[in-house]
Amino acid sequence: MAAYLSMGEAHRRITDYLGRFSDAVSSQDVASLKHILSLSSNSASLLSLADALNLLQDANRLIKQSDRFSQFAEIVAPLFRCIQNYRLGNLVDAYPAYEKAANAFIQEFRNWDSAWALEALYVIAYEIRVLAERADRELSANGKSPEKLKAAGSFLMKVFGVLAGKGPKRVGALYVTCQLFKVYFKLGTVHLCRSVIRSIETARIFDFEEFPQRDKVTYMYYTGRLEVYNENFTAADQKLSYALAHCNPHSEANIRMILKYLIPVKLSIGILPTDWLLEKYNLVEYRNIVQALKRGDLRLLRSALEAHEDRFLRSGVYLVLEKLELQVYQRLLKKIYIIQKQKDPSKAHQMKLEVIIKALRWLGIDMDLDEVECIVAILIHKNLVKGYFAHKSKVVVLSKQDPFPKLMGKPVNA
Amino acid sequence: MMNQGGITETLAPPGTNSLEDRHVVDARHGQPSSYSSSTAGSEASSWTPHSVNNSFTGNGYSASSTYGFEQQAQPPRRDDMNSATEASSLSLGSTSVPQDYNGYMTYQNPTNSYGYGTTGYTGYYSGYQQQTNQSYSQPAGAYQSTNSPYQPLSSFQNTGSYAVPPSYSNSYYGPGDYQTAGTYPNSTYGTQTTWNDGNYTNYSSYQYSNYPSTSSAYSSGNSATAPAQYQPQYKQWTGYYAQSEVSCAPGMENLSVASSSNPECPTPGVPDGTQASNSQPPPTAVPSWRPEPGLSGLPSQQPSVVASTGHDNYWKQHAAPGFQNYNSAAPGFQNHNSAAPGFQNHNSAAPGFQNHNSAAPGFQNHNNAAGQSAFYQPMESKNAYGSYSDEQKSTSDQGPNLQYPVVHQVPQVHQAPQQISSTLDPRRGIKLQIQTNPRIVSNLALGLTKTDKAGSGTTAAAKPAYIGVSLPKPNDKALSSDASDPALKPATFPKSLRGYVERALARCKGDAQIAASQAVLKELITSATADGTLYTQDWDAKPLFPLPDMDGLSNTFQSPLPLPTLRRSPGRRTKSRWEPLPEEKLVNKTLPLTTEPVKYGGYMNDRNRKPFVGNLESKDGLNTPNFLAMEQKTTSFQKPFKRQRLSDSLTTADNGDASSDSDKESSLTAFYSGAIGFSNTPEERKKRESRSKRFEKAHGNRVEISHFKPKSAGSANLYARRATAIVLSKTFEESGSKAVEDIDWDALTVRGTCQEIEKRYLRLTSAPDPATVRPEEVLEKALTMVQNSQKNYLYKCDQLKSIRQDLTVQRIRNKLTVKVYETHARLALEVGDLPEYNQCQSQLKTLYAEGIEGCHMEFAAYNLLCVILHSNNYRDLLSSMSRLSNDAKNDKAVKHALAVRRAVTSGNYVMFFGLYRTAPNLNSCLMDLFADKMRYKAVNCMCRSYRPTVPVSYVAKVLGFAYASSVNGGSDEKDSVGLEESVDWLKAHGACLVADNNGEMQVDTKASSSSLYIPEPGDAVAHGDSSLAVNDFLTRAPS
């Protein structure tokens, strides 16, 4: 089709696009502006424009022809270059052009008193991240070092700076923050999140609840993940639960992502999910872990961890799950205690180390006396077992009152 | 420096250059207190003499004599220096009279600017004001008013400060001085008195100011000292006044005494000073102030800067009203007058000064000389600062005397230069014009002062000092403004007006507002004076004018006006100080000449106006020094460290100037850069400096020239220059990078020819010489040699490093390279040399990534252990775990490392020490580093879980003590060794040990659970890295 494109038609398409752009700005029509800027939508109008641009090389002349267009030359000219390269599949060149256009746009945006173009800015923030990710993929495929996403990160930081002040534009700050989170998590530079979080959370002038719902959910999701990294399970639970409670119930993929982190966090504070939940959101990798916790089956826990080690390592919950081992030990001891109680209630609170070793051996886990003694010591130390250990007689003396305290939503204390 | 600055100003374009240079030099000089020794030999020498004089000054006469000497010696130099600006800067101390004058003038201006800029300035101002008031009876009211505002602003100023001054002075001068006050004049002051009374007073004030500044600088922020200085100054002023009022002889003596006494005994001195002060003291005080700033840590820098702008201002001020005032001043003035001629003489002939100095009779002469010296003083004072402070502390009398002379000299010098240089100085003309526009002028002056401050302040704030150099024209303006100010004589203001001014200023919230308010006030007073309502109007009832809109001004002022802000609120001041000033904005602002200077000038002017209207000029001059001192003080208080750094850099720069042109350039650029970013933090300035230096290297000459030319153009030129510099540097970088890409590395790679197997490591400072580089075969032998060597680690490390170096320069990356790095990494692990290990590890990482074979798994395990043991970051651990391949996970060493990780994260100490026993390779070496932590955690856990006791033998077994000992040999013996070791360890960590019935040691868990602690590492080293402690390292290294 492009081959048959006449010069006149190309000219018309470009002028039409310019006209739409300038109309959108002058009439503050966000919807069409969004459409114009949305590169990844692959809309027909953008594609045909790209063809026209490839045919008509001096689009800049058209921009400069009219005052109406030339005032946006700094935005539109690089945008045209970007569209051209995008159409040709040259993302590495498309990215810098888009960044340039975006830069010019935020300059304009800064000058607009109202926040009417916020939606368009969202589109830009999104496009620049996606474009950078794709460009990086292209770069690393060519054996070059991917650097565009990093550049997008610093550009988004700039956008954040434009929005983070007072006034109506502040509402948009959280969206950009979330885009930044995505960039940083992808780059593995999550420590850079700290400054953004600080400026969001310390701002007294703006109540967090005033941000758009979707941004709040995304923000809570990422900050919750950060708390998981920090082993701060209480905060992680709170943030991820917020995200889950406010997430659109129809976007199951998002709910699954939240649950992926929320379940290990809940497990570590002693709250187990139902099978139904795991199945509904296809989180079956946790099923055996939950079973192990219920049964005190150390072997099952270890095999479950081993089976999904890669997945857990990548999502970053491996160490959280590994720590569940102590709870499994607790459960095991509790079972022994219950059995002993059935046999001889008067001696139930005295648990011989030998019995524990036997139980472990029955699970196929061979541990020597010192090791089990150590585990018991740790259990008592962490307050998962109430009582004391008598070294001389190798007996765990359990408290007669609530020897196996439940976590009750609190993390195992260090 | 000051002299130089002044000269340069008079000289015009070349002068400016020289001024800048000088300024720089001065600053450096001042800061180091090495003035004498620092920088150019000639300068240094001259300075040193001055300092000596100052120290001697305790004996006013001796000081004067020394001054004379210095001056004499310097004069020739100065002349030379005049010709060559650098020389002039150096000569300032010694400079010939005319130069001195110039220098003084400039110095004063700079000092003013400095003072204004810095809080110290405000303090000075207050001091000045008071002094001026006293001395200048006419303006007194205004001055007082100004004083009062200033005082409130700065804690120093708290007039209380005056009263306080005694205490201060006591500290400085020693209370004895105060007591002697009566006698003072006779003894220490006597010398001064012998000098021109007025001059003496001035001197005293100057000295005081100097002292304070010095004291502040030295004491580093002793607020008390600062006030003391102020007080002294005030006293001096008062003394001056008294002198002026009284006829020279007795009055002078009294005054001088008073002044001296003031510093020392605040109360007595103060009253005296106030009484006497009416006359002339302010002018003198001003000079002293200037020197002070110079004196303070930064003093040298300041003087230089001051010289450029400050001098101008001073000159103008002094020349116009100040001079007149001085001349008119009765006794003091007489002295002054005589001094004036003397100045002329001085100007014309340095020898005259020398004569003065040499001759006691020529007190006046001395004064003149002093004035000269004073010009230099800033520099001298700087030099002498150390001595001054010391002297002051030890012998307060001498110190003050010296200072005083300096101060006196300064004013005189200023005057003389002004008069003499009238034709010479374009500024004068400007001044006249400026007079018409007092506000503008004041702004300009302020700007100048600011710049000066910056220059001088470099020591303290350092930012503006540089600017000052490039802003000669603004100075002129400022001077003119000052001149115009004189028309308004604050001394004559009614009290009600003073109160009005105070009220007006008290509500100002920022420097900018103050400055603007001052401008408005000035206008009000001028108009009131013009229509004769000044005394008839009911100022108390008059409503305050609306606060001026500061938008633009505030920006400009913020950085430059630290002093005022300081007085009012230290926090704010610091804030403003560091706030980046929008350079462009400044330019846009009304300040026509140099934006920076203008800003500063605004402050200066404002302050001047407020306090000093009429006398302002002379006072300003005086004030400026005070301000400088204040600034220094304040700066020292706030950030002594930064100051030091700045001063250091400045000193170095000075040295550079003296030594070579390129150095000069760099220093100049440094100044420029400083000027450009007044508000910048020192770090940033340094960065800029280095950046601009880079640029200079290539285009140094051009840059230099451009820098100098811009005087009138001011900041604009600076900006332009900066821009060009950036462009140039960019192009350089580009060309450089291109060149790098084009280089044929293979052609350049060294092929070693050295056959020596043993080679010491020496970090290369030039291209490698093939004759000293070993080829691969020899390196292989060298590696074998090292591996089989019985010598200690240090030797091996040295040899391996040289092998690594030879490999690197020959770009050999193969199995041998891997082997060398692996060998080194293992050796480093064995002795716990982690820094070296990390170097090798990172190299190995890239080598393995290139596909070169080696013990990949072994080092993957080490790497994992390092992450486990040294990073408490979950993410690092996760990412390094997820990077492991399946092959790696099946490797014995890596498996072990992963097991260690599990043991560590779960706190399973039994598992940890079990793994320790079975560690492959050198894994145990890395585990060693974590063993203590693990043991502590374990004992903590045991104490919590075990009851009632746990045997030490069990602890020793479980926590690896027995294992560690068993490595060494026998069975039972080793066990007992392990037991002993564990007992020692447990005791060291606060465990409670008891023996049971069988005599076996037990840990009382309940008692221990609350008494455990981690002892301070016994081998802690001051620098924080015990592995760097050579002795310890050697003992640990297996020989």
Torsion of CA A238, A239, A240, A245, to 10 degrees: 80
Reply yes or no on whether the pLDDT at B221 is more than 70: no
CB-CB under 8 Å, A391 with B946: yes
- Which residue out of B877, B910, B915, B996 would a mutagenesis test of the A interface target, given it has the greatest number of A Cβ atoms within 10 Å? B910
| Nearest-neighbour CA in chain A from B879: distance (Å) | 8
pLDDT at B879: 81
Phi, psi (rounded to 5 degrees) for A112: -85, 130
Q: What is the pLDDT of residues B416-452, one digit of tens each?
A: 333 333 333 333 333 333 333 434 333 333 333 333 3
Q: Which of A319, A376, A378 is closest, CB to CB, to B874?
A: A319
Provide long-range contacts, Cβ within 8 A and 24+ apart, for B546-551.
B547/B507, B547/B508, B547/B513, B547/B516, B547/B517, B548/B513, B548/B516, B548/B517, B548/B519, B548/B520, B549/B516, B550/B510, B550/B512, B550/B513, B550/B516
What local confidence, expressed as pLDDT, does residue A241 receive?
A: 95
- Tell me what pLDDT residue B51 has: 36
CA distance A114 to A289: 52
Of B881, B910, B946, the CB nearest to A370: B910
Of A229, A373, A381, the CB nearest to B875: A229
Q: What is the pLDDT of residue B782?
A: 92
Q: How far is A383 from chain B (nearest CA, A)?
A: 9
Q: Inspect the interface and report whether the beta carbons of A188 and B879 lie closer than 8 Å.
A: yes
Quick check: B714 and B596 in contact, CB under 8 A? yes
Q: Is B958 on the interface with A (CB under 8 A)?
A: yes
Per the CB < 8 A criterion, the answer to whether B357 and B69 are in contact is yes
Six-digit token string for B585: 């904005």
| CB-CB neighbors (< 8 A) of A365 in chain B | none
| Average pLDDT value over all residues in chain A | 88
Quick: pLDDT tens for B560-617: 333 333 333 333 333 333 434 433 333 333 333 333 333 333 343 333 334 333 333 3
Q: Once rounded to an integer, what is the mean pLDDT over residues A63-83? A: 84
Helix (DSSP H) and strand (DSSP E) numbers for chain A:
22, 3
The most confident of B259-268, B738-747, B954-963, by mean pLDDT: B954-963
Strand order in the sheet with B949-951: B949-951, B1001-1004, B993-995
> Percent of chain B having pLDDT more than 70?
27
**Token output for B862:** 């080490």
- Nearest by CB to B908, from A231, A378, A391: name it: A378
* A-chain residues near B944 (CB < 8 A): 377, 380-381
- The answer to whether the Cβ–Cβ distance between B911 and A326 falls below 8 Å is no
- Search chain B and give the residue with CA nearest A375: B908
Interfacial residues of A (vs B; Cβ cutoff 8 Å): 188, 190, 229-231, 310, 313-314, 316, 318-319, 322-323, 325-326, 370-371, 373-381, 388-391, 397
ipTM for the predicted complex comes to: 0.84
Residues of chain B neighbouring A319 (CB-CB closer than 8 A): 874, 877-878, 905
Q: Residue A331 — pLDDT band, cuts 50, 70, 90?
A: very high
Going by the DSSP 8-state scheme, the letter that residue B38 receives in this structure is S
* B945 touching chain A per CB within 8 A: yes
| Separation CA B800–CA B779 (nearest Å) | 10
Q: What is the DSSP letter of A285?
A: G
- Could you tell me how far CA A120 lies from the centroid of its own chain? 23
- Smallest Cβ–Cβ distance between B882 and the set A313, A378, A379 belongs to A313
Q: Which residues of chain B have a CB within 8 Å of the CB of A314?
A: 882
Q: What is the pLDDT of residues B355-398, one digit of tens each?
A: 333 333 333 333 333 333 333 333 333 333 333 333 333 333 33
Interchain contact B886–A (C-beta under 8 A): no
- Interface size A-B, in CB pairs within 8 Å, comes to 74
pTM of the model: 0.51
Q: Measured between CB atoms, which of A229, A314, A378 is closest to B882?
A: A314
**B452 alpha-carbon distance from chain centroid:** 15
Long-range contacts (CB closer than 8 Å, 24 or more residues apart) made by B884-888: B884/B860, B887/B857, B888/B857, B888/B860
Residue B530 exposed, middle or buried by CB count within 10 Å (0-12, 13-18, 19+): exposed
| Residues in chain B closer than 8 A to A403 (CB atoms) | none
Rounded-to-integer distance, Cα B99 and Cα B583, Å: 33
User: Position of tokens 């929005």?
Assistant: A163
Q: Residues of A with CB below 8 A from B947's CB?
A: 388-390, 397
At B617 the pLDDT is 38
Asked if B905 lies within 8 A of A373 by C-beta distance, the reply is no
Of B877, B881, B946, the CB nearest to A388: B946
Q: Which residue has the higher pLDDT, B408 or B750?
A: B750
Contact B945 A376 (CB under 8 A): yes
> What is the CB neighbour count within 10 angstroms for residue B608?
42
3-state secondary structure of B1002: strand
For B610-651, the pLDDT digits (tens) are 433 333 333 333 333 334 333 333 333 333 343 444 334 333
Chain segment B241-295, per-residue pLDDT in tens: 434 333 333 333 333 333 333 333 333 333 333 333 333 333 333 333 433 333 3
pLDDT band at A59 (very low <50, low <70, confident <90, very high): confident
Residue of A nearest to B947 (CA): A390
Q: Does B951 touch chain A (CB under 8 A)?
A: yes
Residue A218 has pLDDT above 80, yes or no: yes
pLDDT at position A374: 94
